[in-house]
Amino acid sequence: MSEVFDSAAQIPAGFAASCDPQPLPRTLLMCPPTYFDVVDVKNPHMAGHAGTVDFELAERQWHALREAFIACGATVEAIEPLEDCEDMVFCANQTLAGLDAGGQRVCVASQMRHASRRREVPAFAAWFERRGYEVMHLPGEEYFEGSGDAIWHPGRSLIWGGYGYRTDPEVYDAVSDMFGAPVLRLALHSEHFYHLDTSFCAINEETALVYPGAFDEAGIGLIRAVFKDVIECDEAEALRGFACNATAIAGTHVVIHRGNPRTVEALRSRGLKVVEVDTSEFMKSGGSVFCMKMYVF
């Protein structure tokens, strides 16, 4: 039976710790930027950037990000890019991969809002199927954009589910059933923070980096009730530096876009090892570090 919650009042104290443990993934899936480009406007960050991508620089930035992940102890695998799929490099969106209540590998296929991205989904589903995942499909026609909006709580069988721009709230009942994991649902309230991963980074079991302005009172209250340490990112670094679109590796390392000094200082003050990279070409399309990888369990 699905378990979906929308406010702190609905959950008991110590809720995350009561959820089943889950290993922290150390393998990441990336897609080379062979066909990456900005050709239209799917979010406000893309406005004015069509035709401006420096393809050679984007290639160098992608490889530097890959090397940063590896330096933090991750194993990186790659999926073959598809021609005319210019957004496929943002491989957090096409699926949600994880372990179900029995420890079996499950991959839920996304139902993308934009038609130009729907051709990406079968390629990712096939990649996970070849690696022993059970690929599952949502029963309805509601939109769902994978781990761009559905993010695992580190170390626990618990999902944070963002909705409002790319994902519909109704899908989380089915997602909860498919994984046998509760979902803590968060409404998003700014078109600039259109995916949960643009305003929320779960670093480890106790620590999260968030931009509070992306959430309503119930949402930020839910985050504060579950995480013992909530690092609040200011608007400038969240909006222009994509600071919350960082990626945590093993709960100890954080890879983040270069140029967010206040956020970096806050992370390092907690003993976290921070690696800064340049993702400026990909930010023209509205994505940064987290968007460019998928956790593989």
Q: What is the DSSP string of 49-88?
A: -TT---HHHHHHHHHHHHHHHHHTT-EEEE----TT-TTT
- Bridge partner residues of 184 (DSSP): 5, 160
pLDDT tens digits, one per residue of 151-180: 999 999 999 999 999 999 999 999 999 999
Q: Which among 64, 96, 86, 81 has a CA at the least distance from the CA of 257? A: 64
d(CA 122, CA 129): 10
Tally of CB atoms within 10 A around 63: 13
Tell me what pLDDT residue 2 has. 84
Tell me what pLDDT residue 196 has. 98
Tell me what pLDDT residue 267 has. 98
* Strand 183-187 to 200-202 pairing: unpaired
Q: Which residues in the chain show pLDDT less than 50? A: none
- Domain residue ranges in the chain: 21-296
* Exposure on the CB side of residue 66, measured as CA atoms within 13 A: 15
Q: Which stretches within the chain are classed as H helix?
A: 15-18, 55-71, 120-130, 171-179, 217-226, 235-240, 261-268, 280-283
State the DSSP H helix or E strand holding residue 209, giving kind and residue range, or none if neither.
Answer: strand 207-210
Q: Are 163 and 187 in contact (CB under 8 A)?
A: yes
CATH class for the domain made up of 21-296: alpha beta
The whole-model pTM stands at 0.97
Tell me what pLDDT residue 221 has. 98
Separation of first and last alpha carbons in the chain: 23
By residue count, the chain amounts to: 297
